Chain A
């Protein structure tokens, strides 16, 4: 009897979930239909708001791409995200390794570890004004400066993750390699780095999601350089859209599509990564 009970579908939960789903789907549905409509189709009546567009023309998207220079911002966003992820994996895992292996027996390393990890509490708000000045003095008011900053901003979190993961990797593995005469550096790349692959995935997902959607850093560092990231382009062209909400929504949708595709393909990795990152 008990067996039967646990196998039964929980219909109350199903109903709640389906209702809840509409709260997620509705704004997305509205985005989709507004992006396809023409300004003349926009009315204030409820049925008019909900109705499907008369034609599914791609004109709004073409125009939005032209106005916001979509491909250029897309390219910038992609470049910044990929380089940040690659650099983060290399630099943060190395640092996590160096700190994780030494912080228990060395005052210096445990201090550095705490010093960097406590950087998590530093809000961007306090850094942004001095950084705007500093990056400019260093000639870094461009995408490269933005990448460097990301590598620094996500360092506390990622080092926490890597050094936490390292606890589970037995020293014996490294010692065996050492007996074979491999240097520490070589041992790291040959043995430790590959073993940390699950953590690399987590770091990649977390960093990529944050970087891709971030507005503030490029806003402060690159403003006026005529280089946009995708979110920054939405902000900068806000007035250009005027009251042509259809054009604006086409542009919003365009900026959401890349990450949606990424999510559809890597959903499992993303969910795992996010959970690993939060739960450590």
Chain B
């Protein structure tokens, strides 16, 4: 009987594990191998040792894409979390048509990022400048996507527009775990408004806060669709995210080998960030 159980589990595990290894582990290893070549993606190639890695650290374009991606990820994460926390508080308060609002606010999240990007692309290129010139604003009079200093803001807005929905829902479910009597007790101590939030509500939803942080940072570090739809990395290569650069230069730009090295580094960065985040939030939760 015991053997039968063991055998069944093995028969389930082995084929599925094989599938996983075949389409996840093996490509990963192959990616690492390609990173030591000057492969263009077709034709022959030579081994170049660590040259790709050395180049990576002196390549201004790659460096710029890391800076951009991190800037975008950090700013968007902050913006998204502030907005969605505020929305969640509002949606969790005593309001009319609660389920309608909740449904409506989640809507952006189910839409495809690429198409949303295209819609906003038009919005930034034509509609916003029209409003800008109407109110006589110089800086809004032209497309924010055409200026290397402001294009990232456009991408941030689109990322946030969609991501706020997700985070709000998670915060709401967090707020619902806060028992009503906590507020009542707090109310007696004179904790209202900001104080109530800071000292009563927020500590209780810290786990949800850390979920949102992890989700946001990871998603935004891998941003691709929005770039594809809004700027294709421009203007002046100011909005090339790491994923976009790897796709663009690796698949069609003839840098298969070099971008493989970039991808390996990117992988290590993602692992480091995730582990650091989990360690950090884990500690915070313990403290409370």
Contact = CB atoms under 8 A, between A and B. Distances in A.
Q: Does a CB–CB distance below 8 Å link A and B in the complex?
A: yes
A51 interface: no
Interface residues of A, number: 86
Given A30-B119, A267-B103, A95 B12 contact: yes
Given A27-B123, A216-B225, A231 B115 contact: yes
B180 to A, nearest CB: 8
Interface string B118-144: 111011001100110010000000000
Interface in A11-63: 13-14, 16-17, 20-21, 23-24, 27, 30-31, 34, 44-46, 49
B8 interface: yes
B4 to A, nearest CB: 6
A70 to B, nearest CB: 13
A123 interface: yes
A130 B263 CA distance: 11
A248 B5 CA distance: 56
B111 A213 contact: yes
A161 to B, nearest CB: 14
Given A255-B112, A256-B115, A131 B27 contact: yes
B24 A152 contact: yes
Interface in B168-211: 169-170, 173, 184, 208, 211
B95 A122 contact: no
Given A14-B95, A123-B266, A256-B111, A129 B28 contact: no
Contacts of A278: 166, 169-170, 211, 215
A185 B8 contact: yes
* Chain B interface bracket (under 10, 10 to 19, 20 to 34, 35 or more): 35 or more
A240 interface: no
Interface string B263-275: 1101100110010
B66 interface: no
A86 interface: no
Q: Which of B13, B27, B131, B208 has the most CB of A within 10 A?
A: B27
A235 B105 CA distance: 27
Q: Is the interface of B mostly helix, strand, loop or mixed?
A: helix
Nearest to B26: A134
Given A24-B107, A27-B123, A216-B225, A132 B30 contact: no
Contacts of A133: 30
Contact of B19 (A98, A151, A234): A151
Interface of A: 2, 6-10, 13-14, 16-17, 20-21, 23-24, 27, 30-31, 34, 44-46, 49, 91, 94-95, 97-99, 101-102, 109, 112, 116, 119, 121-134, 148-149, 151-153, 155, 178, 183-185, 209, 212-213, 215-216, 220, 230-231, 234-235, 238, 245, 248-249, 252, 255-256, 259-260, 262-263, 267, 270-271, 274-275, 278-279
Interface of B: 1, 4-5, 8-9, 12-13, 16-17, 19-20, 22-24, 26-28, 30-31, 34, 41, 86-87, 89-91, 93-96, 101-116, 118-120, 122-123, 126-127, 130-131, 134, 161, 166, 169-170, 173, 184, 208, 211, 215, 221-222, 224-225, 228, 242-243, 246-247, 250-251, 256, 259-260, 263-264, 266-267, 270-271, 274
9 nearest A-B residue pairs (beta carbon): A126-B263, A213-B112, A130-B27, A130-B30, A13-B90, A152-B23, A10-B93, A184-B8, A98-B12
18 contacts: A13-B95, A16-B90, A17-B105, A95-B13, A98-B13, A99-B13, A125-B243, A130-B27, A148-B23, A184-B5, A209-B109, A209-B110, A252-B115, A252-B118, A252-B119, A259-B110, A279-B170, A279-B173
